[in-house]
Amino acid sequence: MFDLQGKAAVVTGAGSGIGAAIARLFAIRGAIVSVVDLDHAKAEAVATDIAQAGGRAAARRCDVSQPEQVASLFRELTASNPRIDILVNNAGIAHVGTIEQTTPDDMDRLYRVNVLGFYLCAREAVPVMLRQGGGVILNMASTVSFIGIPDRFAYSMTKGAVLAMTRSIACDYVKRGIRCNCICPARIHTPFVDGFVAKNYPGREAEMMRVLSDTQPIGRMGTPDEVAGLALYLCSDEAAFVTGAAYPIDGGVTAL
């Protein structure tokens, strides 16, 4: 089960954290993975790890907020392999602040990466998937796609948009072989979280890590590998009947 043998997968934001875990697991299951990240050195490190473990992967640098770079990326990918079986839109950034503390520049920056970036990649992938008879798009949303939390105004806005985008793509292409779903994690312990806490709560890192863990009903943050396991299912043929769905992986947050 959950075999991706020979499938061409593109994973954005795959240089670390959830994206890296997804790229590694997909490669273990036989996918040919394009490890896409703004930081090419990190993408190279993940691709090297995959190759050393016997998998197939290539690193690609791309700023997903830039239309020209995204178009160029997909031209390069399809020149070497005309198929794109799986697109995982994972690249994203965060922001702390209420609406009063969110500047227009903040809003634009969050929108360009978290919403426009997903749109640009999906827009390039869809025609390829249509030509080959189908494919899977998986978007990384969040529990804040469903619920509000304090001081995350701009971030929540973008993840709500990702949920709506997911359902729209699923609706438009359900008869044409393309499935589109999203995963909605709560707190996942990644290097991104470590850096985010260090930047926004200097001197209070240990305290904030405890707070982030304690706010999860299950009593801890999730792991990238746990999210990757769900991503594997949703991108596999075993999920062929699943589209337009939003899957929480949140330690009980949305239930409680």
Q: List, by residue number, the catalytic residues.
A: 155
Three-point CA angle 73, 75, 80, nearest 5°: 100
Query: What is the SS3 assignment for 37?
Result: strand
Angle subtended at Cα 201 by Cα 101 and Cα 253, rounded to the nearest 5 degrees: 80
What is the spatial distance between Cα 195 and Cα 177, in angstroms, rounded to a whole number? Answer: 39
Separation between Cα atoms, residue 149 and residue 112, nearest integer Å:
22
Contacts for 58 with CB less than 8 Å, ≥ 6 apart: 33, 34, 35, 47
CB 126 within 8 A of CB 173: yes
Cα–Cα dist 228/230, whole Å: 5
